[in-house]
Amino acid sequence: MKIVILTGAGISKESGIPTFRDGNGLWDNHNVDEVATSQAFINNPKKVLSFFQDRLNQMQSCEPNIAHHTIKKFEKKFDNVIIITQNIDNLHEQAKSKNVIHMHGNIFENKCLNCGHVQSINDEKHCIFCHSVDFRPNVVLFDEMPHHLEEILMHLSECDLFLSIGTSDAVYPAANFAQHVKSNGVKTVCFNLEKTPNNPYFDKFIQGKVSETLPIFLRNLEVKNDKIFL
């Protein structure tokens, strides 16, 4: 049985990282067009780099919460678990999750502006391939293509259970995943504080803080003869 878990900013909120949209979110204090698009990076790279440096500084001191640790427990209980995250933090990795796909990039990585090589922010201060010192954070800006889409579509086409955790379903293409898998007969569950626009595509909506709802869900989840009992 294959489980695909899609996570969004809501899972990291209880670790102290603000989400984008819910009350007092990041976009209440910043203009997307000025700090998180490729045009902004051309117009004013310093401003964009400074915005992401602030995000990095904030994320560097954060630790995974019960929800991230519970996802690790899914990986122990079931053989085939894939985590697709829209988050650019490293809290799944800190919780020791293995199969993590960062579809919007990872702020703990830099991308060389000369050759495109991606390396950890803790590596050398120059690109280990072309020696350039010009980097940008390896994050997907609002008008850029998400990473790993082909691999993600393959996992979605193979999954038996799809869990959507702490995402507002406002950012595409991730917002399409629930409808896509539902049309293939996959069981789908949404964990959020409130219903999202994708609610019609979920078999079950579990309302509440994900650090509280996810451990209960995992305890009760049963699979017998390849049949899933939610």
> Which residue ranges make up the site for Zn ion (CB under 5 A)?
112, 114-115, 117, 127, 129-130, 132
The yes or no reply on residue 97 touching ligand NAD (CB under 6 A) is no
The percent of the chain in helix, strand and coil, each rounded to the nearest 5, is 35, 25, 40
The yes or no reply on residue 70 touching ligand NAD (CB under 6 A) is no
State in angstroms the smallest separation of the CB of 89 from ligand NAD. Answer: 4
Q: What are phi and psi of 227, to 5 degrees?
A: -100, 135
Of 68, 102, 104, 155, the catalytic one is: 104
C-alpha 19/C-alpha 58 separation (Å) is 13
Q: How many CA atoms lie within 13 A of 50 on its CB side?
A: 7
Contact, 126 vs 113, CB < 8 A? no
Among 5, 202, 210, 217, binds ligand NAD (CB under 6 A): 210
The yes or no reply on residue 190 touching ligand NAD (CB under 6 A) is no
**β-pair partners for 189:** 163, 204
C-alpha 218/C-alpha 214 separation (Å) is 6
Question: Which residue, chain included where needed, has tokens 């007092």?
Answer: 24
104 a catalytic residue? yes
Pairing of strands 204-207, 187-192: parallel
Among 1, 153, 154, 170, binds ligand NAD (CB under 6 A): 170
Q: What is the DSSP letter of 174?
A: G
The yes or no reply on residue 25 touching ligand NAD (CB under 6 A) is yes
- Alpha carbon distances (Å) from 199 to 154, 158, 177, 191: 23, 22, 12, 10
Per-residue x/- mask for ligand NAD, residues 128 to 167, rule CB under 6 A? --------------------------------------xx
From the list ligand NAD, Zn ion, none, partner contacted by residue 22 (C-beta under 5 to 8 A by kind)? ligand NAD
State in angstroms the smallest separation of the CB of 110 from Zn ion. Answer: 10
The yes or no reply on residue 36 touching ligand NAD (CB under 6 A) is no
Catalytic residues: 104
Residues lying near ligand NAD in the complex (CB under 6 A): 8-10, 12-14, 17, 19-22, 25-26, 86-89, 104, 166-168, 170-171, 191-194, 196, 209-210
